[in-house]
Amino acid sequence: MAIVVLKGRPRQQMGKGAARRARRSGVIPGIIYGVGEASIPFEAGYDDFQAMIHTASGENVIVDLKLEGDPAERKAIIRDIQRDPLSGQILHFDLHHISLTERVTVDVPIHVVGIPIGVKDFGGILEHILREVEVECLPTEIPTAVEVNVSHLKIGDSVHVGELVVENVKVLTDADRPVVTVVPPVVEEVPKEVEVPEAEEPELVGKEKEEEEKEAEQPAESKGKGKREKEGES
């Protein structure tokens, strides 16, 4: 685990307004605390902090904090980074003062390696369910990431936390939790054509229906006579 120096200076002003002014000037507010210790608010260069967390160790880097005017040795790990939900800009960060000889609890990201047989040969879908695992270890032995090889997985196969191989650490996450699984491909059902019944002729109602029924009951000769009488009247 890499140890990276971060320079800062104690904060003289507190509050949201002071924090906004600090960020506008290119620094970022932070705080360091430890068990049985008073917390110390400070600020560090925004670019320096960004460069530190983008090292190979990521956010699990060990920070060697050097505060201006304070000769004390402070090793720490990052406990929290607050970001703007829209821009992703870092707004604030917390450091936890640690001893390099005492075990700590941290979350380590899980990296998937390989392409499953079930995906490559049978069109399955790899679902990455668990993105990080909680571990306990010495600060200098914090892994950068936990790798899980999925090349051997067929459709229906899974890898659980208990199957992860992580050296020098104690895994605290429940061993039965699934990390990845390969599910069958999604088959889209073709919608069936719906037969629309032919429209029936509307049923006659009222007076029209009565007249049609009377005409149907009259003999053909009467129908013709009636028709001639109507023509004579007109």
Query: What size, in residues, is the chain?
Result: 234
Which tokens go with 42?
């400070």
What pLDDT sits at residue 135? 95
Q: What sign does the CA torsion over 96, 102, 105, 111 have?
A: positive
What pLDDT sits at residue 3? 85
Q: What is the pLDDT of residues 186-195, one digit of tens each?
A: 877 667 776 7
CA 102 to chain centre: 33
Chosen CATH of 105-183 out of 2.170.120.20, 3.20.20.80, 3.30.450.20, 3.40.50.2300: 2.170.120.20
Which residues contact residue 2 at a Cβ distance below 8 angstroms, ignoring those fewer than 6 apart? 55, 56, 57, 61, 62
Assessment of whether the complete model's pTM goes beyond 0.75: no
What pLDDT sits at residue 116? 96
CATH topology of domain 3-98: Ribosomal Protein L25; Chain P (2.40.240)
Identity of residue 148: V
What pLDDT sits at residue 147? 93
What pLDDT sits at residue 234? 47
What pLDDT sits at residue 139? 93
What pLDDT sits at residue 24? 78
The parts of the chain modelled with pLDDT lower than 50 are 230-231, 234
The domain locations on the chain are 3-98, 105-183
What pLDDT sits at residue 114? 95
Which tokens go with 13?
């002003």
**136 contacts 172 by C-beta, under 8 angstroms:** yes
CA distance 213 to 171: 90
